Amino acid sequence: MDQNGQTRHALHRRGFLAYGAVAAAAAISPIRAFAASPTVAAGARAKAPVRTLSFLHTHTGERLKATYCCDGKYEPEALKAINVLLRDFRTNRVKDIDPQALDLLHELRGTLETDQPFHIISGYRAPETNQLLRARGGTQTGVASQSLHMVGKAIDLRLPGVRLDNLRAAARSLKLGGVGYYPSSNFVHVDTGRVRYW
């Protein structure tokens, strides 16, 4: 074999070994590669051809299973149905839920490898509801005066069959926004704000 042939062979072998190392690292990682990096754009991160979520609202008893995104396009009718389910049930007011919050839930479900419905404690909150909860002592339980619930970017939830601390750990591992842990109230808060934990 000539020198050029040896060089090509060495480069090919190095490339194969590098590819193998990357594949091995991905295989042993507890979090999927696409969910591990917070720097990946939301559209690129959630490229599943079909994204479906299931919900049970713990206060109203309403259930919903909706395919909210197909081939990279959000489905308006499905988003409307999700917005209704995640409405402020106290005022019956509906607001658009941030699709990135839904993508966050989709990533969370995939990370936890479950198809159970998310049990929703709170989605959208009207300003007067937020103020009411703060007045009832919500400042001690994390009801912020400028809560992201009021702009459709936060959801309080739990997931059947998943311990609350495991749900929190999985949400934190995604590094896609804020994660609050409320074991005494049996829920985890997730939002699409800056990455922070409490």
Q: How far apart are CA 188 and CA 127, in angstroms?
A: 21
Q: How far apart are CA 130 and CA 139, in angstroms?
A: 10
Instruction: Read off φ and ψ for residue 31, nearest 5 degrees.
Output: -115, 140
Q: Which residue, chain included where needed, has tokens 């590094």? A: 175
The reported pLDDT for the residue numbered 18 is 40
First to last CA, the chain: 62
- Specify which residues 63 forms β-bridges with: 56
pLDDT in tens, 18-69: 434 433 333 333 333 333 333 334 444 546 689 999 999 999 999 999 999 9
Q: Can you give the residue ranges of every domain in the chain?
A: 1-30, 37-197
Q: How far apart are CA 99 and CA 79, in angstroms?
A: 8
Domain 37-197, classified CATH 1.10.10, yes or no: no
Contact 126/150 with Cβ under 8 angstroms? yes
The reported pLDDT for the residue numbered 185 is 93
pLDDT in tens, 139-183: 445 677 678 999 999 999 999 999 999 999 999 999 999 999 999
The reported pLDDT for the residue numbered 192 is 98
Q: Is the pLDDT of residue 136 over 90?
A: no
Predicted TM-score (pTM) of the model is: 0.74
Q: Are strands 63-70 and 73-74 parallel, antiparallel or unpaired?
A: antiparallel
The torsion region of residue 169 among left (phi > 0), alpha (psi -120 to 50) and beta comes to alpha
- The DSSP secondary-structure symbol of 88 reads B
Closest to 93 in 3D by CA, of 114, 120, 124: 124
The reported pLDDT for the residue numbered 33 is 31
pLDDT in tens, 56-102: 999 999 999 999 999 999 999 999 999 999 999 999 999 999 999 99
Angle at CA of residue 49, ends 23 and 87, nearest 5°: 120
Instruction: Read off φ and ψ for residue 68, nearest 5 degrees.
Output: -95, -10
The reported pLDDT for the residue numbered 10 is 42
